[in-house]
Chain A
Amino acid sequence: MVTRLKRRTVVFVGGGLTAALAARQLTSRGVDVLVLERGADHSQAAEARLPTQRDELRWGVHGGLFQDWSVETYSLRHAVDETALPIRRLEAFLPGEGMGGAANHWNGQTWRWAEYDPVLRTRLEDRYGSKAIPAEMTVQDWGVTYAELEPYHDLFEKLFGIAGKAGNLRGKIQPGGNPFEAPRQNEYPQKPLPVTEAGVIFSEAADKLGYRPFPMAAANSPEAYTNPDGMQLGQCQFCGHCERFICEANAKGSPQVLLYPMLLQRPNFELRLRTHVLGVEYDRQARRVTGVRYLDLVTGQEYEQPADIVVLSSFTMSNTKFLLMAGIGAPYDPGTGHGVVGKNFCHQTMFGTNVYFKDRWTNPFLASGASQTVIDEFNGDNFDHSGLGFFGGGYIYANVTNGRPIATHPVPPGTPPWGSKWKQAAADWYAHSFNIYVHGSWYPHRDNYLDLDPTYVDAYGQPLLRLTFDIQDNERRMSEHLAGKVDEIARATGADIAPPTVPRRPPYDSRVYQTTHVTGGTIMGSDPRTSVVSPHLQHWDAENLFVVGASTYPFNAGYNPTGPLGAMALRLGDDLSDYIKQPRQL
C-alpha cells in the first residue's frame, strides 16, 4: 500500500551539493523545502573519524562511500549494434551516496570554465567557420552567459572558502594566476595552497617552455575559515585522503560541513535520509509533475509525496533515468538525431605520464586533493585548432593528490610486476616520482547517449540506465596532440626517466577511473527541440519540474565541473523563489 503524504512546496530528489545550494537560497526566503536522499549522514561515522578514515582499502579501493553497484549499476555497450552488459563493479566514475553526495568524496579542484564555454558553438563557428564543427559533434550553447553566472560563482567560492590566485580581475591579467581565466569581480576568498615539490619541478619546466603555471583553485582550506553563513572549515592537513574519502578535519569544502548542518537548523527545511525515489509523477495532459514516489529504506514502506515543485538534483545518471522512466520529454534517438533525453552524454579524457627523479624528494603523501600546479595553454579553445582535426583540450598539471600506497607505488616501464626487482623499484621511486597529466575535455558525439536497458534491472526491479558510449575520433586526436605537449614538459623537468605518454584510445573502459565528471543526458539550451531544460533549468515539458547538475551540461570541458555546478544551483534557488511568487515559464 502506498501512503500519501502532506503536500510540500519544493521537493528535491537527491541530497547532494546542488540541492543544498538551491535550498540555501530558498529557505532563507521562507520557502518550505524537503530533500529526499537515499543514503545516510556520514558525518559522525567511521568514514569521517580517525583512525578509520585513513583506511585506503575500505574507502579508496572498495569504495565504501560510492553507489552500491549490487543495488544499482549501469549497462554499457560501445555502439548501437552491440548488446549492453551490466558494469558489475564500476570504476570509471564514482557517484556517491548519503547527505552531501559525491561532493563529500571529491578532491576539491574548483574551476570556473572559460568565458566562451557557455557559448562554445558560437565561438567555434565564429573562429573556424560555420562548417568547421562536424555534424556528429552535437555541441551547443547553454543559453546563459558567463557574465550572468559570475555573481553566483563568486558566492559559491565564498561559501566554500576556495583557495586560489586570480588570473583575470575585471579584465586585468594578474601575475601568478591563470591568464586564460574568465574575468572575475573578486580575488579568491583564500590564498592558494602551498606548492608541492612536484609543483616546483613542474613550474620550472613550464617556465622554460614559456608557459604560465599557476596554483589550482582548491576547496581544501589552507587555514581555518568562516564563510558568509558563519559556517566553518578547519585547516587542511595535507593528509592525502581527499578524493574517495570524507575529510575528518572538516577542511574540505563539502555540503555536509558547510550547508546541511546550517539548513537542518532552519524550520522550513527537512532532510529525509534513507529514502529511495522510485519515480516522478507526471500529469501529461496538464504538463505538470504532481510529486514523487519513494521507498523508505528503513521501514520498506512506499510513499507518495505530493509537491508544488520537483527538482531533480541527483547525480547525472539518475537525473536522466528519472525523466526516461516517467516519460517526460522525448527520448533521444541516435538514428534520426531527434529527441533530447539521454543526448550528449560525455565523460572526460584523462592521460599522462610518470616522471622519475633520482635526486628529488617528491614525497607524494604530502598533498591535498587540489594542491596542484597547472598550465591552461592547451585547454578548450585557448589555442588555435586550425588544421588540427579536433576541438577541445585540457589543462596539464603536476597531478599529486596523495601517496596512498595501494594505488600509488609507481615503477618505471620494464620493471617486473612482482618479485625482488619490483620491490626494489617501488622502494627506489615511491618518494621520487610524480604524474604529469591532462585533464581533458570530451565533446558530445551523435552516437554517445543514455537510455533504459531492455534486459537488466536494479534491486527495485527498475531498468538500469544504459550507456551507448565510446571514445570517438575527436577525443582520440585531442589526446594524441596533447600527449606530445605532456612529453615536452616531462623532458623539460630533467627527469631521469620520462616514459612517453600513451594517449587515451578507444574502447571506453569501465574498469579504469577517469574522473567522476560525467555530463549530459538532460541538457540545457534555449531551443526545446534540442534541449531538455531551459537556461533556467526548467523542464520544457513540465513547468514545475527543474533539473540541476552536470546532467544539464551540453558538453564536457577540460575543467572540473563543480564551479559552474555550484553557480547554477545557487542561481536555480533564486529562480525558484521567483517562480514560486509567479509560476510561469521562466
Chain B
Amino acid sequence: MVQLTRRGILAATGVAPLAPRFILGGAATATVLLEGPQTSQAQAAGDVVPPLAAGYLSLGPDEAGFVEALVDVMCPADGLTPSGVDCGLAVFIDRQLAGGFGKGERLYMRGPWHQAKPQLGYQLPMTPEQFFKVGIAAADAASRQRSGKGFSELAEAEADQFLHDLAGGKVTDERVPLASWFNELVYPLFIQACFADPIYGGNAGKVFWKMIGYPGLPATHAQDMVDFRGKPYPGAAEPMSIADFS
C-alpha cells in the first residue's frame, strides 16, 4: 500500500487541509494551517503521517479547544515533531476519556469519600472523564480570573507558564484539586498520547517513537542482543506498530 501524508490525503480528497479544530467548527485558538514549518519539519523527520481521526467522541467544542491548546503548548511543532494536535494527541486524550479508562474501568468507585493524603491515591467520586472535564472548566475559569482570557486564548508563553503554575499548585479552585488534576490525570494522558501505539490515535506516524529511537514491534531481538549491543540499532529509524501487523 502506498502511504500518503495526511496533507496528501486531504488534498487528494479535496478537503481543506485544516487541523481537527476546524473540522469541529472552530472551537478553539488561532487558525493554524497544516502548512509551512510544521509540514516541512514533519517531512524533514522522514515522517509519513497517516490521516488523523476527525471528530471527537467525548470532548465538546470548548473542551476540545482547551485540549488542543494544551497539547500544542506541551508539544509545540519543532524540528522533532509536528504540533501536538497534528501528532494526534488531542484525539488520543478524547478516545481515552470516551473509552473504558474514562468511564472508570478497573477503578474502585464505592463510597464513602474522604479527602486523603496524596499517597492514598485518587479519592474523588468522579470517573476520570468527569474529573477531566470538571478540571478543564475550573482551570479555564482560573485563567479568565487571572488574565481575562480563557486558556486557549493565551499566547504560547503565557499558556506554558499557566501549565507550570497548575503543576506547581499555584492555580487553585475551591472545589477542584487542580494540581493533582494536572499532575495525575492530564500529564499521564499527555505522555501516553505521545508514546502509546498509534492505534490509539496519538503518536501519529510513530513520530515519538522515531524521535527517541524506539523500534516498536515485533521486537524479536535474540540475535540483535549480540549484534547491536552498544551500537546504534538500525531498526529504530523505521519503527513498526500494531497496525503494521494487522
Contacts and interface: CB of A to CB of B under 8 A. Distances in A.
Interface of A: 50-52, 54-57, 61-63, 68-70, 73, 76, 78, 83, 85-91, 194-197, 200, 235-241, 360-363, 365-366, 371, 403, 405-406, 409, 417-420, 423-424, 426-427, 430-431, 455-457, 507-511
Given A239-B219, A430-B214, A87 B228 contact: no
Tell me the dominant secondary structure on chain A's binding face. loop
Interface string B100-144: 110011111110101011111111000000000000000000000
A447 B124 CA distance: 28
15 contacts: A54-B217, A57-B196, A61-B192, A76-B120, A85-B114, A89-B107, A200-B230, A238-B224, A361-B230, A405-B212, A423-B75, A423-B78, A423-B80, A430-B213, A509-B118
B246 interface: yes
Contacts of B108: 69-70, 73, 86-89
B220 A54 contact: no
A417 B167 contact: yes
Contact of A239 (B112, B160, B200, B220): B220
B242 interface: yes
B197 A403 contact: no
B15 interface: no
A76 B228 CA distance: 45
Nearest to A506: B119
Nearest to B230: A197
B225 A431 contact: no
B212 A366 contact: no
Contacts of A240: 219, 221
B195 interface: yes
Contact of A194 (B101, B120, B196, B226): B226
Contact of A56 (B75, B107, B197): B197
Interface in B71-118: 73-76, 78, 80-81, 100-101, 104-110, 112, 114, 116-118
Given A423-B78, A510-B120, A406 B107 contact: no
Interface residues of B, number: 67
Nearest to B245: A51
Q: Most chain-A CB neighbours within 10 Å: which of B81, B230, B242, B244? A: B230
A57 B191 CA distance: 11
Contact of A366 (B106, B229, B245): B229
Contact of A237 (B74, B114, B222, B242): B222
Given A51-B218, A409-B195, A423-B211, A366 B114 contact: no
Interface stretch (B24-32, B54-62, B231-239): B231-239
A70 B106 contact: yes
A326 B243 CA distance: 50
A345 to B, nearest CB: 17
Contacts of B119: 76, 78, 507-511
A434 B212 CA distance: 14
B66 interface: no
Given A62-B105, A405-B214, A510-B120, 13 more contacts: A50-B218, A51-B217, A54-B217, A54-B218, A56-B196, A57-B196, A236-B222, A360-B230, A365-B214, A418-B75, A420-B76, A423-B75, A430-B212
Contact of A365 (B100, B107, B219): B219
B211 to A, nearest CB: 5
A530 B231 CA distance: 55
A56 to B, nearest CB: 7
Contacts of A366: 221, 224-225, 228-229, 233
Given A87-B121, A366-B225, A406-B191, A70 B212 contact: no
Nearest to B241: A51
Contacts of A237: 219-222
A54 B211 CA distance: 19
A171 B59 CA distance: 66
A52 B209 CA distance: 18
A196 B230 CA distance: 8
A418 B219 CA distance: 28
Nearest to A55: B197
A76 to B, nearest CB: 6
Given A50-B217, A365-B214, A420 B78 contact: yes
Given A56-B196, A508-B119, A511-B119, A238 B221 contact: yes
A236 B197 CA distance: 23
Contacts of B209: 405
The 5 closest A-B pairs by CB, nearest first: A239-B219, A430-B212, A51-B245, A418-B74, A405-B195
A241 B196 contact: no
Contacts of A423: 75, 78, 80-81, 211
